Structure 1
């Protein structure tokens, strides 16, 4: 039996950043219990979370899965020239493509990858237009960290998430600014809080989980 606690660390993927591995204890519990087959990832960057899901989810499910990755590969404002984490996004996309191809050969079951190189709202609008409302078992929101974008991602992702499905928000407490000087329009938290407050009869928060990310479940259409 494959030791899923080690995947994909033993594989020669190419990453320059690791913003995901610290979340794995919680993710393993969620995936093991909910066994998502259809996954939407908003914001994929180099594919670290993507390849982990390709390996681990296919093992947990015991069969084929599909993952839809929506990203412009243009980066957020923090990745632009002079930004806090200035990044060559063309190289990021190259690493994503390479890592996905490696993971295809490692995952024990078929993984159908859909790369949606566009803005997340346009990607989800097309999914809805194509009849994929209430289609996904898991939606991972890790795209733009600007509050208006995060709120739009959450509202549109709700439409394509199944009742009973999981919605995970990354960087719940993230800010570009020093404590006490934050611009609330440049943080995910105000948008996530607004969404959860308005949708409180349709979404539940997983209690007791670390709050670097927010883990939620859709309970009503």
Structure 2
């Protein structure tokens, strides 16, 4: 089975996602095809599909929209779970103008706009605003600006915004900035977050990646929120 066959099988209600990966082009707001570079890997799409289908969230949040590949995967899966439309996906992306607003347009072309919004602010401003409004989510996907302080802010507010039992997913966990934040979570948030082990159907990896996974390296990592923040004032601090 080819990658396109896999997308077609997993996301049968989203021809736009199939087209995006088959052609490598997204359609911008002016209706013109543009090169879609840096798309999420097929394995990432399958992992998102698996986690959404397993967790069955009704409110999801994504940091980083770009050309809309991961958003389409999430919303398509949500719709396949709940055809009544009782779900809503929020994306945060301050740079849609840099992508010809293609991410927003691809969601619209797929017929998902009624269950979607894009907050066009940087996440360090958008996330506190969502927290002030007491918005809550059951699944959050972080794939935004990969600088330590930005990832740290994204992670902190993700755990604030998650409902208890909700799941946060980090992409690019082998990046040194992201991995440092992951290390903080695993050393200083014990009792508040636990690593979620998952294996999505259809994922194919070369031998070297399978070995890396066994050694603890992974591109995508997920954590379940087990307790509400903030931590107690006298919480221990562990070097990370």
TM-score category, normalised to shorter length: 0.7 to 0.9
Q: Which runs of 5+ in 2 are unaligned?
A: 1-7, 21-25, 27-34, 200-212, 229-240
- Distance change (3 Å), C-alpha of 1:4 and 1:165: farther
Distance in 2 between the 1:197 and 1:218 partners?
Answer: 15
| 2:63 alignment partner in structure 1 | 42
Contact kept, 8 Å, 1:38 with 1:136, in 2: the verdict is yes
| 2:137 alignment partner in structure 1 | 136
| 2:74 alignment partner in structure 1 | 53
- Distance change (3 Å), C-alpha of 1:100 and 1:212: same
Contact kept, 8 Å, 2:14 with 2:76, in 1: the verdict is no
| 1:127 alignment partner in structure 2 | 130
Alignment of structure 1 residues 18-167 onto 2, 5 Å: 18-64=39-85, 65-73=87-95, 90-103=97-110, 105=111, 111-132=114-135, 135-167=136-168
SS of the residue corresponding to residue 181 of structure 2 reads helix
SS of the residue corresponding to residue 29 of structure 1 reads helix
- Distance change (3 Å), C-alpha of 1:69 and 1:25: closer
SS of the residue corresponding to residue 195 of structure 1 reads helix
Distance in 1 between the 2:68 and 2:124 partners?
Answer: 20
Q: Deviations over 1:10-45 (max 9, x none)?
A: 334416132242223332322222111101111111
Figure out how many residues of one structure are paired with residues of the other and give that number. Answer: 187
1:125 deviates by 0.9
- TM-score, length-normalised on structure 2? 0.71
Distance in 2 between the 1:28 and 1:51 partners?
Answer: 10
Report which of the two structures shows the higher radius of gyration computed on alpha carbons. Answer: 2
- Distance change (3 Å), C-alpha of 1:130 and 1:72: same
Contact kept, 8 Å, 1:173 with 1:188, in 2: the verdict is yes
Contact kept, 8 Å, 1:145 with 1:188, in 2: the verdict is yes
1:196 deviates by 3.0
Q: Which runs of 5+ in 1 are unaligned?
A: 74-88, 175-183
Distance in 1 between the 2:49 and 2:56 partners?
Answer: 10
Distance in 2 between the 1:6 and 1:66 partners?
Answer: 18
Among candidates 204, 212, 220, match of residue 213 of structure 1: 220
1:155 deviates by 0.5
Q: Are positions 1:10 and 2:15 aligned together? A: yes
Q: Deviations over 1:69-118 (max 9, x none)?
A: 11111xxxxxxxxxxxxxxx635142112201112x2x5xx842121111
- Distance change (3 Å), C-alpha of 1:155 and 1:93: farther
